[in-house]
Every structure is written in structure tokens, then in C-alpha cells.
Amino acid sequence: MAEPGDALRRTSLYETHVAAGAKMVPFAGFEMPVQYTGVIEEHHAVRQAAGLFDVSHMGEFEARGPGAAAFLRRLVTNDVSRLEVGRVMYCTMCREDGGIIDDLTVYRLADERYMAVVNASNIGKDWAWMAARKGAGVEFRDVSSETGLLALQGPRAEAVLAGLLPGGGDLGAIPYYGAQERTWQGKRVLVSRTGYTGEDGFELYCGAPDAPALWEALMARGGGEGLKPCGLGARDTLRTEMKFALYGNDIDEATNPLEAGLGWVVKFQAGEFIGREALLGIKERGLSRKLVGFEMVDRGIPRHGAPILAGGRNAGVVTSGTMSPTLGKAIGIGYVPLTHAAEGCEIAVEIRDKARAARVVETPFYRREKA
Amino acid sequence: MEFPKHLKYSREHEWVKVEGNVAQVGITDYAQSELGDVVYVELPEVGTDVEANNTFGVVESVKAVSDLFAPVTGSIAEVNPQLEEEPELVNSDPYEDGWMIKIEMNDPSELNDLLDVDEYKTFVEEESK
């Protein structure tokens, strides 16, 4: 975690962002673009055409060797021992008591070579936790600062990327949550069909020094497809419409994956992992609260930290909320008691000392039309 | 960036247009551009008393909630009804269609505490350094 007073770090794309007129803000210890032309315009570009994000601040750790699979299996809740080469798995990493240390994706890049991609705000904490639990036969490296990461997202993402890669890049061969290496200008780029927006798209891992040229090339190719550079503001509204958890907002060490709606990445039947006993206990005793999505009925935008009332009593807390650009409604995510977690339940959010009516709704709030 | 000459300005980035005893209030072009896309405005009811330098409402962009401060003391004579449905007017037309409230002033001499256009320009330059 970055401490106040620490110098802000910059990604290799800093100069590119500033030259493009981005508004830079501190985020997770980095100086990052929050927007270029406007959050709403960038949001719509991703839903309707394509958007390009610099997410090089994310952390990447590589685990290699005969012990790598067992090492990672013990650390995360999902069954990475079943991960095939060229595939990606979303996971949580928990403490012994089931509290979430981080949410991450794990890539199997080769037989005995894995990559864990973690939140920028958690790089130091995760590294300390994981490195201390490294067993024999594992070479474990933090490659965060040498890795550049661009997210190309939206219905036109594939067309943009195909226009850049030799022979179209054979992108049809990369399934959802799959990742394969491609060559661009003699450089290796890991093309991963993943993202944080709810649209089709790719995350492109490259060497940090190569990221600005890749960015410029994508922007030059993508103009005709409606590609726009996008900042963290749009990344947040897009992920909120999908109810994708944001670490530090919706999940943290005081929450567990079961109540956060991430039970689908907790695989109890697949051997030992840290937090398994505690999470089994929580499952057997039953949850006390659940992370749900809701829409405002009264006027007002729910914000992180606002109290949620159920039956007039203080019952939970808003973890994320925004005015949804796609739906044109104020939406939120928060923890509520199980008694008020079903779709249609009426709750209230306290905004500026006033209880305002809201209703629990089905999530994700937004669903793209499948091609 | 627009800084109309005929307006008075507060250090909280509100503009004031005086018509007789009534002060029309909105936020400046600089303020709206700093905020980004405005998605929600909450204003007081007509008849509410407001006090100079105290909050009278909020303006929210996608990411941030900002308080609105009354530049003068008085009671709310009118609020802009269009902002409920079209808060984006604050971005597109901050000095005309994006106006927020009209205050029936108790003490028009409070206007002397506000900045004129040149003073406000200097204030913004200092603040954005």
C-alpha cells in the first residue's frame, strides 16, 4: 500500500497521456489518467465501439518451476491446478480467516510457468504474503515494473487489434479467458481475452518500454473504428455496471468471497488452500450478509461508505455507486442482511442525512448483446 | 475558458449575476471543467434561507461530490427546474441555461466581498498552479 508522502510512480505511458491531454490523478500510488475528454464519452465509446486503457500499474508476478502449480494452488481459492496452458482463471487470495487479501487473475503461460496479476494497491502486500509461502522448486519474480499492460475493450476491439497484428493475429483462436503470445514489430505481446468492462476485448501484456509504441499504433489503427483513449473514471463506471468487485471498495480483508458473491471462485473440493477451513465454516453456519446491486428509487447517487437502511434500521453499507451512463440511473453495490438481499427488496440509502429509497435488482446491471 | 465581464465571482467558484435585489447563482466554466461530467445537482426548496459562505446544495460529477456555497445571504426565490433532468447543462452552458438558484438578498453590501472578473481570473491562475 502506498503511504501518503511517497513519491507517485508513473507508467511508461505517462508522457503519452499528458501529450493527449489526460487529466492525471493519484491512484494506488501511481499518477494515472482519470479521463481524456470526459468519463461519459469514454464510457459510451467502450460500450459502442472501443476504448484503450493504460493499466500498467497492475502488478505481475511470475512463478516458474516444478513446484509452481502447487505453490499457487495453496494460495488462491480457485482450482488453478486445473488451469490449462494458455488459459486464465479469476481467483481470490484469502487469509486463514477467509478475509480477502486480493482478487487476481492467474495465467498458465507454459507447463511450469504461471503469472499472477494483482491490484496495483496490493503489490507490496501480496508479494510479501506470497513470497513468504514459496516452497521448493519455485522461482518467484515480481515483474510489475518491467511489464506494460494495455486494455483494449469494446465490440470493435477485435477488429482494431486484428488490423494491427500480422495476418490479423488469428484472434478467433483465443477464447474468453484465454491468452496467447503474438508478435508485433518483432516484440512479444501476450494477448489475453479478458477485461474489466463487460465487453469483448483484450488485455495486452508487453515490455514496459514497448507500451507507448503499441498504444500509438492501436490509436492510429483504431480511429476509424471509433477507438478512444479511456481513463480510470470510465473503467470504474464500466465495472460498476457489471458489478465487478473493486478491491478496497467492495472487497477487502474484512470481507470474504462467499458474502461478496465470489463463491464461484472458491473450490472446496479441490484440495487444500489457505482460508479453506474458515470459509467452509462460514458456508456451514450460513452467511450474515451479501453483496448486492441496487437502483435508486428516490433521487441521489449512492457513494462508497453511505449507510444502507433496511426496515428503517442501519443494516449495511454502500461499497460502490455511480450514475450509470448506460442505464441513465443511479446504481449501487453494497452489503445488506440476507433478509434484504433478494431481488425486489426495498432498502434505503442515507445520503446527506436523508434516507432515500432504493431497490435490490438483478446484476449485472448491464448485459451486452451477444453477437 | 470563459470569464464573462458582467458577473461577480466567489472564491468557491460560483458566479453571481445581480438583478435588482436578486442574485442569480451558478458555477463557473472553470469549476465545471474541473468537475468533469456533471450527473446530479441537488438544490434547496424555494423559500429556504441560505447564509453567505454556507452550503446550499451539491453538484456531483461521475466521480466526485462537491458542495455548493451561497455567495450571499438571503432566501431562495427560484431554482432551475431543468437541472433535475438535464444536469449536463452545468457543463454545456454554465453561465446561462446551467444556472442554479436565485437568492433574494438580505444585504446587497455582501456583494462587495465578491471578486470582479480580473480578480477571479488571477484567483483561478493561482489555484491551478
Does some domain include residue B115? no
pLDDT of residue A307: 98
Tell me phi and psi for residue A349, to 5 degrees.
Answer: -120, 130
Tell me phi and psi for residue A234, to 5 degrees.
Answer: -70, -35
A23 in B contact zone (CB under 8 Å)? yes
Cell 474541473 belongs to B34
- The complex scores an ipTM of 0.91
Binary contact (A352, B58; C-beta < 8 A): yes
Which domain CATH number covers B14? Answer: 2.40.50.100
pLDDT of residue A311 exceeding 60: yes
Convert the pLDDT of each residue in A25-70 to its tens digit.
Answer: 999 999 999 999 999 999 999 999 999 999 999 999 999 999 999 9
Binary contact (B42, A325; C-beta < 8 A): no
A303 in B contact zone (CB under 8 Å)? yes
Residue A114's region, left for phi above 0, alpha for psi from -120 to 50, else beta, is: beta
Does some domain include residue B121? no
Q: Minimal CA–CA distance to A240: which of A157, A134, A326, A181?
A: A326
- What mean pLDDT, rounded, does chain A reach? 96
Cis peptide bond prior to A364, omega within 30° of 0 = yes
From residue A354, give the alpha-carbon distance in Å to each of A7, A293, A308, A312, A350: 39, 20, 11, 12, 5
Residue to test with chain A: of B32, B40, B63, B91, most A Cβ within 10 A: B63
Q: CB-CB: which of B42, B62, B65 is closest to A39?
A: B62
pLDDT of residue B129: 77
Binary contact (B36, A23; C-beta < 8 A): yes
Instruction: Spell out which residues of chain A touch residue B63, defining contact as CB-CB under 8 Å.
Output: 34, 39, 233, 236
The cell numbers describing A117, all together, are 496479476
Convert the pLDDT of each residue in A293-309 to its tens digit.
Answer: 999 999 999 999 999 99
3-state helix, strand, coil in chain B (%, to 5): 25, 35, 40
- Work out the minimum CA distance from B32 to partner chain A, whole angstroms: 12
Res. A371 pLDDT band, cuts 50 70 90: low
Q: Which of A76-90, A108-122, A334-348, A357-371 has the lowest mean pLDDT?
A: A357-371
**Host domain of residue B42:** 8-106
What does DSSP assign to residue B85?
H
Fold held by A1-285? Gyrase A; domain 2 (3.30.1360)
B37 in A contact zone (CB under 8 Å)? yes
Tell me phi and psi for residue A357, to 5 degrees.
Answer: -65, 145
A330 in B contact zone (CB under 8 Å)? yes
Binary contact (A39, B60; C-beta < 8 A): no
B64 in A contact zone (CB under 8 Å)? no
pLDDT of residue B69 exceeding 60: yes
CA torsion A347-A350-A354-A355 (nearest 10°) is 10
Higher pLDDT: A124 or A311? It is A124
pLDDT of residue A1: 47
pLDDT of residue A120: 98
pLDDT of residue A4: 56
Please say whether the beta carbons of A92 and A102 come within 8 A: yes
What does DSSP assign to residue B89?
H
Instruction: Spell out which residues of chain B touch residue A323, defining contact as CB-CB under 8 Å.
Output: 39-40, 60, 62
pLDDT of residue A181 exceeding 60: yes
Mean pLDDT along residues B63-90: 96
Cell 508487453 belongs to A206
Please say whether the beta carbons of A18 and A24 come within 8 A: yes
Q: Where are the domains of chain A?
A: 1-285, 288-371
Instruction: Spell out which residues of chain B touch residue A330, defining contact as CB-CB under 8 Å.
Output: 40
- Work out the minimum CA distance from A167 to partner chain B, whole angstroms: 40
Please say whether the beta carbons of A245 and A103 come within 8 A: yes
CA distance A41 to B65: 20
Residue to test with chain B: of A35, A249, A320, A354, most B Cβ within 10 A: A35
Q: Minimal CA–CA distance to A358: which of A307, A316, A298?
A: A298
Percent of chain A with pLDDT over 90: 96
Binary contact (B60, A301; C-beta < 8 A): yes
Binary contact (B60, A323; C-beta < 8 A): yes
Res. A174 pLDDT band, cuts 50 70 90: very high
**3 state DSSP class of A105:** strand
**3 state DSSP class of A72:** helix
Mean pLDDT along residues A171-196: 98
What does DSSP assign to residue B126?
H
- What mean pLDDT, rounded, does chain B reach? 96
Binary contact (A300, B58; C-beta < 8 A): no
CATH class held by domain A288-371: mainly beta
B60 in A contact zone (CB under 8 Å)? yes
Straight-line distance from the first to the last Cα atom of chain A, in angstroms, rounded to the nearest whole number = 41
pLDDT of residue A77: 98
Binary contact (B40, A233; C-beta < 8 A): no
**Number of compact structural domains in chain B:** 1
**3 state DSSP class of B125:** helix
What does DSSP assign to residue A175?
-
Convert the pLDDT of each residue in B10-45 to its tens digit.
Answer: 999 999 999 999 999 999 999 999 999 999 999 999
**For A279-321, what is the HEC assignment?**
HHHHHHHCCCEEEEEEEECCCCCCCCCCEEEECCEEEEEEEEE
Mention every residue, 6+ apart, whose C-beta is less than 8 A from residue A198.
A238, A239, A241, A242, A244, A364, A366, A367, A368
Binary contact (B36, A39; C-beta < 8 A): yes
